[in-house]
Amino acid sequence: MTRKSKKVFLICDIISSGMKTSLFSEGGERLAEAYRPLPIFLSGNRAEQPPEAWRTCLKETAAEVLGKYPGCVPSAVSFSAMSQVCLPVDEAGKPLGPAFTWSDSRAEEIPDPLAGRFSPEYLHRLTGFPDTANSSIRKLFWLKEQSPEIYGRTACMLQCKDYLAWCLTGVFATDYTDAATTGALDLREKTWSGEVTEGLGIDRRKLPKLLPSHGIVGRVTKEAQEEFGIRAGTPVVMGAGDNVCSAVGAGCVCPGDVYMSLGSSSWVAACTEEPVLDEGLLFSVFPHAVPGRYLSFVNYQTAGVVFKWLKNAVFQYDPEGCREVLPYKNVYPYTGMEALVEAADPGAGGLIFLPHLLSGDSSHRESFARGAYLGLSWEHTRADMVRAALEGVTFELRFFLEAVMGGRRPERLVVTGVASHERCWLQMLADVLGIPVCNTELHDTPDSVGAAVLAGYGIGIYENMDQADRFRKWEETFVPDSRRRLDYEALNGIYRKAFGAVSGIFRELENWREGRGKA
């Protein structure tokens, strides 16, 4: 890198388990990165994280990255981060306690006033999101009801990236994408919803200023330069929630574009010109980081759970044994699993797996929904069981893709995430979906790439946000096999009928479990 001739972006990517800070050139080259794990404290429905850890990790990772290029001055700083966080801070920006992270659902302990005033469908149309105990605004309501002293001292509720932006600039702000995940944003007006805040008795003055994702929050202060080693005056671009940054990084920026992330939690997202809301409340809708566009999004947490279940309950895999677990191979239980999948024929000898192992998963939120193997016989092998499980997850992903696309079939599917290098799974996706499936060399960085694009667009280096090709190199394209495509088309029809055919049995089993528990 010629430091004087190229502009670089310092990008901070935060998830609940850790922080990764990267240095990207304006031409799309990842020059350096540093990672630190983050502590998280889990207990029942609580999930807390100390905001001081975010601050320390930013200081350490920024120093490590910039230390690899002495004299390098970032042209901008930006963020990608987990959403649905609630961190109360006082007027001086001091945290008043731990941050409640996205998986914290303590708000379910108290009655929800919104449920008595609005229908779920109305709130979904208003905000784009379902009214859940995980939303940031419901967590702030919990503070109001259970810790009124802390609520009274709260000057602003911030999310993860918002707090770090404040650390650098001294400005309280958030972007439209993170604001949407609070459950309190008017989706179309892009303002805080008076109906939601008044319904919960929340003072809107405790919510941060709203900016577009490419908006400049402010500039690094002299105090922040002393603490973080980033030159004072450097523009700080707001950034976005990690799901939306991933969409930008995957090139999902034009109407009709779609991408999928595969990992322990998987999701599907599609770019649209107008909000597309489904009456079944299957998916959420964000204001996209791309001005004037929206992102339909469905999260499927069950994907990785299926393989953890196979590993722990069925095969009782011993990580200390002879079967090696490779870095980032955390979706499959062990290295021989892909060979097992490939050893079985498509359709697994007439074996279907319903992957509803998590109660209330995205496609079937009924409390009685459960998983099942259907068509099992003594002739089925372990390879058939593993392949059927992967096929079941893939049929579900097809259902979500069709939902966010409104039944339309995209020209291709871009796949990201830690499992996007699993060739067997990607070929199966192509065969089940009937479209080409593409992955890139940067499997695990689309959110950081998206934040880099936002940084470049925010300071005027890029003319638009369709810049993902600067940062990625296509690794492989998987084309549907015509014969397997026909097989899977028929099997998908059977699969779609399967849950309804056995749901009555699931309901009876739930009644039995509840009755036995009371005995």
pLDDT tens-digit map of 106-128:
999 999 999 989 999 999 999 99
In this predicted structure, the answer to whether residue 480 has a pLDDT above a threshold of 50 is yes
Q: pLDDT-derived band of residue 237, with 50, 70 and 90 as boundaries?
A: very high
Q: Residue 439: which residues within 8 A CB-CB, separation 6 or more?
A: 414, 415, 416, 420, 421, 426, 474, 475, 476
207-218 pLDDT, tens digit each: 999 999 999 999
Report how far apart, in Å, the C-alpha atoms of 274 and of each of 178, 254, 288, 402, 408 are.
18, 12, 10, 17, 16
Residue 205 burial (10 A CB sphere; 0-12, 13-18, 19+): exposed
**What number of residues does the chain have?**
519
Chain-centroid distance of CA 513 in Å reads: 33
How does residue 316 score in pLDDT terms, banded at 50, 70 and 90?
low
- How far, in Å, CA of 392 to CA of 398, rounded? 10
The pLDDT of residue 366:
65
Alpha helices in 335-481 (DSSP H): 337-343, 382-404, 423-433, 446-458, 468-471
Handedness of CA 463, 468, 469, 471 (dihedral sign): positive
Sequence ranges of the domains in the chain: 8-243, 302-399+482-518
Measured CA to CA, the distance from residue 26 to residue 199 in angstroms comes to 45
Q: What is the pTM of this model?
A: 0.88
Cα four-point dihedral sign 409, 410, 411, 417: negative
Query: Mean pLDDT of all residues in the chain?
Result: 89
Check: CB of residue 305 under 8 Å from CB of residue 333: no
Task: Considering only CA atoms, give the Rg of the chain.
Answer: 23
Please list the residues that pair with 174 across neighbouring strands: 210
Between CA 327 and CA 330 the distance in angstroms is: 7
What is the tens place of the pLDDT at every residue in 321-372?
444 433 334 444 445 677 888 899 999 999 999 998 876 565 666 667 788 9
pLDDT per position as a tens digit, 45-74: 899 999 999 999 999 999 999 999 998 999
Distance of CA 454 to the CA centre of its chain: 18
Question: What's the pLDDT at 519?
Answer: 55
Decide yes or no: CATH 2.60.40.1220 for domain 8-243: no
The percent of residues in the chain predicted with pLDDT above 70, rounded, is: 91
